[in-house]
Amino acid sequence: MVVRRWSFLLLGLLALTTRPVSSQELRVQAVQEFNALNRLVAKGDKLLAKKPKPPEFLKPLVNAELSFVHRVCKPTDEQMETIVESAEEALEGMVDLLDQRVRGRTASTIQYRGLNGQRLNQNPVQRIREDTMDYLPLLLTEEQYQKYKQESSQRERIEREAASDYLVALMGEKLILTKIQKRQLREAFLEEWPDLDVEWVVTYISNQRFVPIIPSNLLRKVLTTEQQTAWASFQQVNINVMLGQNAELFLEKEWLP
């Protein structure tokens, strides 16, 4: 994780100190030169030791984010080429997701797994978005980057609202809730549940005999004692999120083949 962060920092220093900050074209060129240097260093590393590779199932997730960047920021071909190179470098650093000694940036009870059962220490979708937010300022104009931030924020809001709405609907099928309780639950989920994420919520759509483990402090605020007892009687489990099975990813192209 430290190495990956220093890589982005060095990239930024090169872009800002060796090229005029006001020149977008020269900044992109600086990043291209840095990525080329990284590839040369990587080749040298391979001669000394076999470098572990990130799992293949992460590539579609990276490609989906690159498609999102291309769609909302409308970068030039040269900008997009450098963005893809930077995404590839970030992907190489994601091998640390397999290291169980490393804790994810956000503690979570939800477990993410790969196609072969690999256990990840962090939500990879969130990691990819954070990495993208790190390197994009160096490659885009300020206007383009602000567009990405705005659209990303909107996307996160829509996803969290969808996750909250589904959970409220699921609880409504199991319990008799008033309209006021449904609205209160929705607000509590959105405002006080950091781990709420559409990536794991949708797993309950195909596993409806289970219900998610919802923080008890949120339920106590809204449900009656009888409703809490009824909810506790259902089979509550945290279902593993299996990656690589999502056919709904929006891909404009395979940016990383």
pLDDT in tens, 154-202: 999 999 999 999 999 999 999 999 999 999 999 999 999 988 888 888 8
Which pLDDT score, from 0 to 100, does residue 138 have? 93
In single-letter form, the type of residue at position 37 comes to: L
Mean pLDDT in the chain? 83
Question: Is pLDDT at 102 greater than 90 in this prediction?
Answer: no
**Phi, psi at residue 96, to the nearest 5°?**
-70, -10
103 and 121 Cβ atoms separated by less than 8 Å: yes
User: Is pLDDT of 77 > 60?
Assistant: yes
- CA-based nearest residue to 175, from 120, 226, 108: 226
Q: Residue 120: enclosing H or E segment and its boundaries?
A: strand 119-120
**7 pLDDT above the threshold of 80:** no
Which of these ranges, 96-110, 189-203, 231-245, has the smallest mean pLDDT?
96-110
Q: How confident is the model at residue 108, as a pLDDT?
A: 55
Task: Assess contact for 75 and 69: CB atoms under 8 A.
Answer: yes
Tell me what the mean pLDDT of segment 55-82 comes to: 94
Return the pLDDT at 23: 63
Q: How confident is the model at residue 142 (pLDDT cuts 50, 70, 90)?
A: very high
Residue 248 corresponds to which tokens in the numbers above? 């709904």
